[in-house]
């Protein structure tokens, strides 16, 4: 099996996978196969006898990533590894030890921090709006993950929130903690704090955890907070078998407490640490990588990405387009996407990325005008959609009845009874969204392995829902740059690359602008084949982003805006005739 686990790895990947002992830091650039390295390293350790699966903890940041890691390990024949998020691992340990230590059940978990904050605000006789409460909730989370007291928080963030001066914000923090204690609840961050406190205060608990877990792997290490880093140290104790994997250039959650210094300083904190650099990119065209490298040149921890040569190059220099306004930009991007789909590109392989959610509405409308269906990432989850829930229930009901036709035919018949047609309705609106969701379920049935039963298929749908393993609908993806992290598409369009949007207007310090640079880098490196960047002057006469100037003309090609057609053209004509009319004759 070892040969199979090691097969196909490039030189740097092989070094990381076969270095099984001692502290290891893997500096893994975008598209260099870090998840493959993590899972193959664990599998190689198990296969060679260096690791026992039950003694391995693999930590990542999202439940979806943890589920993907478990799935990849199963495919490599490894079961029993604790692949979890920091919070899931800490909660499991609290649930196990709390009854013995405290003599009763563990406190409940706060399910809605904003709602609890609203109750705490009521007790103070104040009524901040929901937006202010959300910002206060974010402040509480930042205070805890950076391991600050309320007084230290007030000193670090003296500007206040909304109409609340900073002293009232601090008082609201205290009222929230008091109410939470009275209700015998812990919030998400308390889970990490309580687990760390338990390990520090109870030596026998620490010994039990150290006995259970001997080997640690941490993914996305550039995103760890001081609290998570402290918890990892407590899990490790005096052991040295820890492998951390990350990319400082993809640190985009500093506002939430992430601190890339833990990644960049790993070698100095761990004597004899092995450093492995993954710089061979297995995803993107060399022209795309040239843009990414130019953007991050000379930044701390930046890696120089080199294409693996596994894919034929497109020879398409990434383009940058200037538009008059946001509407023109949205329709220009829609026109380019229409051309790509017309040339045979699968809509699922196309994404439009932007800095802020508010930018999505114009894009959705423009794509609909062009007859292109789109899905906004970060909206309702696939399995929470009413038409999907209805379909799963109908399929489960059909699974208990005698089946006269084949499995796939039965699925198709059930979905047709719910509204699936051979041809999709016009793009845009709820009807098209429902059609795309039902069509995605039918594709899952078409792709099911031979011998799949209807009951087995519905069980698989339920398991997918729990694991957040959502099928890709045949739609163009719209996503914020933050939400796009960890994903990839063949063709990526990044809009709003202007001062005030990217970097965002409130990024005023050097560190804040540098975080915006890393966010742009994340977006650029999502592209496998082609990349287009665009910006709009707008009514406020925006300027192109400083990032475009820094990348320069050597790796970007300026092009003219594509001509507008259809409904977009009609609106343009209307706007043109309106602006040309005498003031008194303008339509109202």
Mean pLDDT of the chain: 87
Neighbouring C-beta atoms of residue 564, cutoff 10 Å? 21
Say which DSSP state 161 is in.
B
Three-state DSSP class for 557? strand
> What pLDDT, on a 0 to 100 scale, did the predictor assign at position 439?
83
Three-state DSSP class for 328? helix
Between the alpha carbon of residue 246 and those of residues 171, 301, 480, the distances in Å are 37, 10, 21
Say which DSSP state 449 is in.
P
CA distance 48 to 1: 9
CA neighbor of 164 nearest in space, from 206, 199, 108, 120: 120
- Residue 395 clears pLDDT 50, i.e. is over it: yes
31 is in an annotated binding site: yes
170 is in an annotated binding site: no
- Residue 376 clears pLDDT 70, i.e. is over it: yes
In the chain, the percentage of residues whose pLDDT exceeds 70 is: 92
> What pLDDT, on a 0 to 100 scale, did the predictor assign at position 450?
84
32 is in an annotated binding site: yes
pLDDT band at 420 (very low <50, low <70, confident <90, very high): confident
- Residue 366 clears pLDDT 70, i.e. is over it: yes
Question: What six digits make up the tokens of 134?
Answer: 């959300």
* Beta strand extents in 496-583 (DSSP E only): 527-536, 557-559
Read off φ and ψ for residue 101, nearest 5 degrees: -75, -40
- Residue 588 clears pLDDT 50, i.e. is over it: no
pLDDT band at 361 (very low <50, low <70, confident <90, very high): confident
Averaged pLDDT, 465-491: 86
Q: Which residue has the tokens 């974010």?
A: 138
Question: What six digits make up the tokens of 480?
Answer: 């914020």
34 is in an annotated binding site: yes
**In contact, 111 and 180? CB cutoff 8 Å:** no
- Residue 586 clears pLDDT 60, i.e. is over it: no
> What pLDDT, on a 0 to 100 scale, did the predictor assign at position 565?
54
> What pLDDT, on a 0 to 100 scale, did the predictor assign at position 474?
83
- Residue 574 clears pLDDT 50, i.e. is over it: no
How do residues 288-336 score in pLDDT, each as one tens digit? 999 999 999 989 899 999 998 877 777 788 999 999 999 999 999 999 9
The residue with greater pLDDT, 429 or 440, is 440
* Beta strand extents in 331-425 (DSSP E only): 350-354, 374-376
The residue with greater pLDDT, 555 or 184, is 184
- Residue 29 clears pLDDT 60, i.e. is over it: yes
**In contact, 89 and 57? CB cutoff 8 Å:** yes
> What pLDDT, on a 0 to 100 scale, did the predictor assign at position 334?
94
**In contact, 258 and 251? CB cutoff 8 Å:** yes
> What pLDDT, on a 0 to 100 scale, did the predictor assign at position 2?
58
> What pLDDT, on a 0 to 100 scale, did the predictor assign at position 582?
28
35 is in an annotated binding site: yes
Q: Mean pLDDT: which of 101-115, 404-418, 515-529 is highest?
A: 515-529
- Non-local (6+) Cβ contacts of 387 within 8 A are 418, 419, 433, 434, 437, 438
- Residue 482 clears pLDDT 80, i.e. is over it: yes
The residue with greater pLDDT, 274 or 583, is 274
pLDDT band at 402 (very low <50, low <70, confident <90, very high): low
Which residue(s) pair with 216 in the sheet? 57, 242
CA terminus-to-terminus distance, the chain: 74
- Residue 174 clears pLDDT 70, i.e. is over it: yes
Neighbouring C-beta atoms of residue 333, cutoff 10 Å? 26
132-135 LR contacts (CB < 8 Å, sep 24+): 132/161, 132/162, 132/163, 132/164, 135/161, 135/162
573 is in an annotated binding site: no
Helix segments in 164-219, DSSP class H: 166-182, 188-201, 203-212
Neighbouring C-alpha atoms within 13 Å toward the C-beta of 260: 20
428 is in an annotated binding site: no
**In contact, 324 and 560? CB cutoff 8 Å:** no
How do residues 57-86 score in pLDDT, each as one tens digit? 999 988 888 988 998 999 999 999 999 999
How do residues 520-564 score in pLDDT, each as one tens digit? 999 999 999 999 999 999 877 889 999 998 897 778 888 887 876
29 is in an annotated binding site: yes
The residue with greater pLDDT, 577 or 264, is 264
> What pLDDT, on a 0 to 100 scale, did the predictor assign at position 380?
67
Which residue(s) pair with 350 in the sheet? 491
pLDDT band at 386 (very low <50, low <70, confident <90, very high): confident
């Amino acid at each position: 099996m070892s040969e199979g686990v090691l097969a196909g790895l490039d030189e740097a990947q092989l070094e990381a996978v076969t270095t099984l002992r001692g502290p290891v830091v893997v500096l893994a650039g975008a598209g260099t196969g870090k998840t493959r390295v993590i899972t193959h390293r664990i599998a190689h350790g198990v296969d060679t006898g260096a690791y026992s699966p039950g003694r391995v903890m693999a930590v990542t940041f999202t439940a979806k990533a943890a589920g993907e890691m478990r799935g990849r390990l199963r495919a490599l024949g490894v079961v029993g590894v604790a692949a979890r998020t920091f919070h899931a691992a800490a909660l499991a340990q609290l649930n196990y030890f709390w009854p013995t230590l405290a003599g009763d059940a563990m406190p409940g978990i706060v399910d809605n921090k904003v709602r609890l904050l609203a109750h705490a605000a009521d007790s103070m006789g104040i009524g901040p709006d929901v937006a202010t409460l959300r910002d206060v909730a974010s402040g509480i989370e930042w205070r805890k993950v950076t391991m600050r007291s309320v007084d230290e928080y007030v000193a670090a963030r003296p500007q206040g929130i909304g109409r609340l001066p900073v002293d009232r914000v601090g008082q609201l923090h205290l009222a929230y903690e008091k109410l939470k204690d009275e209700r015998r609840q812990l919030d998400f961050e308390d889970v990490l704090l309580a687990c760390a406190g338990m390990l520090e205060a109870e030596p026998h608990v620490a010994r039990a955890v150290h006995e259970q877990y001997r080997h640690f792997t941490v993914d996305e290490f550039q995103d760890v907070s001081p609290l998570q880093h402290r918890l990892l140290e407590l899990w490790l104790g005096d052991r040295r078998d820890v492998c951390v994997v990350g990319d400082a250039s993809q640190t985009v959650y500093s506002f939430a407490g992430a601190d890339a210094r833990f990644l960049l300083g790993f070698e100095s904190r761990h004597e004899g640490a092995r450093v492995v650099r993954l710089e061979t990119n297995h995803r993107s065209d060399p022209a795309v990588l040239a843009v990414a490298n130019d953007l991050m040149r000379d930044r701390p921890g930046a890696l120089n990405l080199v294409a693996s040569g596994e894919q034929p190059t497109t020879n398409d220099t990434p383009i940058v387009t200037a538009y008059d306004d946001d509407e023109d930009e949205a329709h220009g991007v829609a026109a380019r996407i229409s051309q790509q789909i017309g040339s045979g590109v699968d809509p699922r392989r196309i994404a439009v990325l932007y800095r802020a959610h508010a930018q999505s509405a114009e894009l959705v409308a423009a794509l609909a005008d062009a007859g292109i269906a789109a899905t906004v990432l970060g909206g309702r989850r696939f399995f929470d959609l009413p038409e999907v829930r209805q379909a799963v229930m109908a399929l489960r009901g059909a699974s208990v009845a005698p089946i006269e036709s084949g499995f796939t035919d039965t699925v198709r018949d059930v979905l047709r009874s719910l509204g699936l047609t051979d041809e999709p309705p016009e793009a845009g609106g709820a009807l098209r969204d429902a059609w795309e969701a039902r069509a995605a379920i039918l594709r899952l049935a078409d792709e099911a392995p031979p011998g799949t039963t209807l009951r087995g298929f519905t069980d698989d749908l339920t398991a997918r829902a729990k694991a957040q393993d959502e099928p890709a609908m045949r739609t163009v993806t719209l996503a914020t740059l933050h939400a796009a992290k960890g994903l990839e598409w063949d063709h990526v369009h990044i809009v709003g690359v202007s001062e005030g949007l990217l970097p965002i207007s409130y990024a005023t310090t050097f560190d804040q602008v540098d975080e915006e640079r890393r966010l742009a880098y994340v977006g650029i490196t999502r592209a496998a084949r082609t990349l287009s960047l665009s910006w709009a002057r707008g009514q406020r006469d925006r300027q192109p982003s400083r990032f475009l100037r820094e990348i320069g003309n050597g790796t970007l090609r300026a092009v003219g805006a594509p001509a507008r057609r259809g409904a977009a053209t009609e609106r343009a004509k209307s706007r043109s005739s309106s602006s040309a009319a005498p003031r008194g004759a303008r339509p109202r």
